[in-house]
């Protein structure tokens, strides 16, 4: 702030003089009014002019600068970038360092600090990516597009067209999950078709962190494995553990998941998940009933 005020004062004085490259000075020895040369940008006034010599200017030492013609006795110290900032342009003898927020952050004028770009939640994709000076802009996925992740970078994706691949639509896509296709000639257990929907299901419904910790702690496994502690884990880590479990979970354990959620106090979401599995089973019989009877 002090640097800005000094520069402003100098610029006002500069415009007020008859010549922008000189300044008025009275020789303390003779009392004579003198018109002294100012020093160019990148230098400072080492000694004032006198009746017998011109102004003496010196280059700014490394780490300092002057931007204007001046008659100051020291160069300004280059600024240091603050927390979460990176150098946009380095300090030179004639210009101060310019800083900007580091990648994935932007400058929020409301609190005068760099803030992480917002993530677009499931069902929404990035319309305009964030920059060092602007936050992310999100849009709702529509027209058979979806987003099944929270992201500050990814836009909405097109839902897969099952019939185009010779398959049938088992679960219609929504704006927060993709379509799920089925090949009646290669049928799998109904719980298998629920697996790709589970990670975005938990993201989309935003289970509170306490319930999510209890669910992750109780996730059913096919062997006697001591559950890992979940106290203190943040939402991102809990979802990472949940997704890892989904990838390797057996069909039997997927079917046990609603009961696990009820035990964790998430009865309403457990009921939604149970109905989703029931609808998958019903659609599987409707589309592939003949094949199921032959199994």
Domain ranges, ordered by start, for the chain: 2-77, 163-293
At 30 the pLDDT is 81
What is the overall mean pLDDT for the chain?
89
Indicate whether 171 pLDDT > 70.
yes
Query: 14-28, 103-117, 190-204, 266-280: lowest mean pLDDT where?
Result: 14-28
At 225 the pLDDT is 62
180 three-state secondary structure: strand
Length reported for the chain: 295
Indicate whether 158 pLDDT > 60.
yes
Distance CA 157, CA 140 (A): 11
Number of Cβ atoms within 10 Å of the Cβ of 88: 12
Q: Which residues contact 232 (CB under 8 A, 6 or more apart)?
A: none
What are the pLDDT digits (tens) for 214-234?
999 999 876 656 667 888 899
88 three-state secondary structure: strand
What are the pLDDT digits (tens) for 40-68?
999 999 999 988 889 999 999 999 999 99
pLDDT > 70 in the chain, percent: 89
Indicate whether 20 pLDDT > 80.
no
At 277 the pLDDT is 95
Q: What is the arithmetic mean of pLDDT over 196-218?
A: 93
Phi–psi pair at 56, nearest 5 degrees: -115, 120
Q: What is the pTM of this model?
A: 0.73
At 35 the pLDDT is 93
Tell the CATH superfamily of the 2-77 domain.
Answer: Tumor Necrosis Factor Receptor, subunit A, domain 2 (2.10.50.10)
* Residue predicted with more confidence, 295 or 290: 290
Listed as own residue / partner, the contacts of 266-272 with beta carbons closer than 8 Å and 24 or more positions apart are: 266/207, 266/211, 266/215, 269/205, 269/207, 272/205
229 three-state secondary structure: coil
Q: Residue 248 CA to chain centroid, in angstroms?
A: 30
Reference 258, options 245, 276, 241, 285; nearest CA is: 276
At 232 the pLDDT is 87
At 17 the pLDDT is 42
């Amino acid at each position: 702030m002090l640097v800005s005020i000094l520069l402003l004062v100098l610029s006002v004085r500069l415009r007020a003089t008859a010549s922008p490259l000189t300044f008025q000075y009275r020789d303390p020895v003779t009392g004579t009014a003198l018109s002294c040369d100012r020093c160019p940008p990148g230098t400072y006034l080492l000694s004032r002019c006198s009746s017998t010599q011109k102004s003496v200017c010196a280059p700014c030492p490394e780490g300092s600068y002057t931007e204007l013609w001046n008659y100051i006795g020291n160069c300004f110290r280059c600024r240091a970038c603050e927390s979460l900032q990176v150098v946009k342009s380095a300090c030179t003898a004639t210009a101060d360092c310019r800083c900007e927020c580091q990648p994935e952050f932007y400058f929020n004028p409301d609190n005068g600090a760099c803030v992480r770009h917002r993530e677009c939640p499931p069902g929404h994709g990035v319309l305009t990516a964030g920059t060092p000076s602007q936050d992310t802009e999100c849009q709702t996925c529509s027209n058979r597009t979806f987003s099944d992740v929270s992201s500050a970078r990814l836009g909405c994706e097109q839902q897969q067209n099952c019939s185009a691949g010779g398959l049938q639509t088992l679960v219609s896509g929504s704006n927060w999950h993709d379509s799920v296709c089925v090949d009646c000639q290669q049928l799998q257990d109904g719980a298998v078709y629920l697996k790709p929907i589970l990670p975005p299901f938990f993201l989309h419904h935003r289970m509170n962190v306490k319930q999510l910790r209890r669910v992750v702690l109780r996730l059913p496994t096919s062997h006697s494995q001591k559950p890992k502690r979940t106290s203190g884990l943040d939402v991102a880590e809990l979802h990472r553990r949940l997704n890892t479990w989904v990838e390797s979970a057996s069909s039997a354990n997927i079917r046990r998941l609603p009961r696990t959620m009820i035990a964790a106090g998430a009865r309403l979401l457990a009921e939604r998940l149970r109905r989703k599995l029931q609808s998958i089973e019903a659609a599987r019989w409707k589309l592939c009933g003949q094949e199921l009877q032959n199994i």
